Chain A
C-alpha cells in the first residue's frame, strides 16, 4: 500500500485516517531550532466535509487514499442512485444521495461533471461552474414593477428555485453559477 511521509505533505494530498478519506487543505512545518519537528495540518474529511486540525510528529506516514477525479457524463437518476458514464470507456458508476448532495439541483441529463471516486465509488461530485437550465415554472413579472434589481423566483427543469430578473419567462434557458446558485444570464 502506498504511503506518504510527512515531508511529502502538501495541499490536495489524499490519504486515509481512521478508515476515512481525507484531503490536506493546509500544511505547516513547525520546528524549534533545537527540538521535535511537527506538521500542523488542516484536513477535510472527504465523506463528511468536516474540517479538523491535526498535528503529526514529522517522520510519521499516512496511507494513500485511492481517490481520483474523473469527468463523467450524467445519464439519469432512478430515484435511489444517480448514474454516470465514462464517455470513453462507456463504464458506468452509480452515486448515492450522500455523494450527490445539493448538487442534484444542477444535474441535467447528458451533462459532463467531475466525479471524485474513492476505491472506484463516487465520493462526491463537482458540477461545471456554469450550467444552462430550462425554466419550467415562473410567474409573470408584475407590470409596472420596474425597480432596479427586482427579482422573482423561477423553478428549473432540475427542481432548483433561483432568483431571476422580472423579464424571465417559462421556457427560457438560463445560465446559472453552480457555486453560488445565482442567475447569470438568459441564453438565447
Chain B
C-alpha cells in the first residue's frame, strides 16, 4: 500500500467533481444491490443472499450492479437532467492484469448531447486527468480501423471471411466463436495493440450486433446501419464505452430479452430482466448520450502503472 497512490486517487476524484460542478452536471448515488441484474451474456453479476427480510415478498437474491446504467436512466426519465456518478461496480470472473472483479466507474449522461459531442467531452476530461497525453486524439470508425489494419469490412464480411482473417493473422483459438466474438478477437488481438501509445483513440460506429443499449443509425444509400457507440482508449488500454442512448422502450425490451435468451442458450445463470428499468423507459426517456469510464485504469495511466492492482488500496487477493 502506497500513500502516494491514495493521494493521487483522491486528487483525481476531486478533479472529476470540479469538472462536473463547473458544467452543472449533478452528482447522484443509486443503489448497488438491485432486484434485477445485467442480462448482457458477456457480463456476469455477483448475487447476494439478502436473507429473509419478510417484507412485501421481494426476491431473496439481489445483484450487485455491473454499472449504474439502469438506475441512472430511471433518474433521467424522472427528470434529473445531466447527471454523473462515481460508483463501485462488480463483474464476476473478470480478473487479470487490467481487470479486477470490483472496480470504480465514472458514468455520466448528457441530455440532448449527440454521441459525437459526448466524445469531445470525454476527451476534454481525460486530457485534464492525463496531462501527459498528446492532445491530438485519434478518431476512427470501427469500420476504418478494420479496413486499415486487416483490410476487411466488419459490417459486410461473412462469417467465413472473418474466420479466414483470424487464421491469416495466425490466431489460434480454442472454443466456438460467434460473429461478435470473432470481431472481438480481431479487435483485441490485431487492432488495439497498434493504437498510438501517447494519445487517446476514439473508435465509433459499431456493428449493429454489438448495439447493446445504443441507438442504431439506419442504412443509407452508401452505408450499412451502425450502432451509435464509441469506445475510448488511452494507448491500447480501453478506458470507456459510450452510447447515443436507445430511448425506444420497445427496442430496449427486445435487447434485454434477447440477451436473457442468449444467456439461457449458453447455459449461464438466469438473470431477471429489469422490469423497473423497462417500465421507466415506457414513460419516455429524453434524448441523451451516456458513457462509462473505468477510473482505476485512468489512475493506472496517470501513475504509469502496468497492473490495475498497483492502483488499488488492496488487491483482490488481499481484500
Contact = CB atoms under 8 A, between A and B. Distances in A.
Interface of A: 7, 28-38, 40, 52-60
B193 to A, nearest CB: 11
B12 to A, nearest CB: 19
Interface in B142-176: 171-176
Given A40-B189, A55-B173, A57-B175, A35 B42 contact: yes
Given A31-B94, A35-B210, A55 B42 contact: no
Contacts of B94: 29, 31, 37
B174 A57 contact: yes
A37 B96 CA distance: 11
A29 B316 CA distance: 15
A13 to B, nearest CB: 15
Contact of B177 (A29, A33, A34, A36): A36
A28 B231 CA distance: 21
Interface string B169-202: 0011111110011001101110000000000000
Nearest to B67: A33
16 contacts: A29-B95, A30-B96, A31-B99, A32-B231, A32-B238, A33-B292, A36-B180, A37-B42, A38-B184, A40-B189, A53-B172, A54-B172, A54-B173, A55-B171, A56-B175, A60-B175
Nearest to B171: A55
* Residue with the greatest number of chain B CB neighbours at <10 A, chosen from A35, A38, A54, A60: A35
A7 B96 CA distance: 10
Contacts of B185: 36, 38, 55
Interface string B76-105: 000000000000000001111111000000
Contacts of B40: 34
Interface of B is mostly: mixed
B100 to A, nearest CB: 11
B294 interface: yes
A34 B230 CA distance: 11
Interface string B18-44: 000000000000000000000010110
A32 B203 CA distance: 13
B189 A33 contact: no
B184 A55 contact: no
Nearest to B66: A33
Interface residues of B, number: 32
Contacts of A36: 42, 177, 180-181, 184-185
A29 B187 contact: no
A38 B97 contact: no
Contacts of A34: 40, 42-43, 210, 212, 241
A40 B241 CA distance: 23
Contact of A32 (B172, B176, B184): B184
Contacts of B189: 30, 40, 55
Nearest to A40: B189
A58 B172 contact: no
B97 A28 contact: yes
A123 to B, nearest CB: 23
A35 B184 contact: yes
A37 B93 CA distance: 10
Contacts of A56: 173-175
A142 to B, nearest CB: 53
B210 A55 contact: no
Contact of B176 (A29, A37, A38, A57): A57
Contact of B93 (A28, A54, A58): A58
A59 B181 CA distance: 13
Contacts of A32: 184, 187-188, 231, 238
* Residue with the greatest number of chain A CB neighbours at <10 A, chosen from B40, B173, B294: B173
Interface string B120-148: 00000000000000000000000000000
Nearest to B294: A33
Contacts of B97: 28-29
B97 to A, nearest CB: 7
A31 B189 CA distance: 11
Nearest to B266: A59
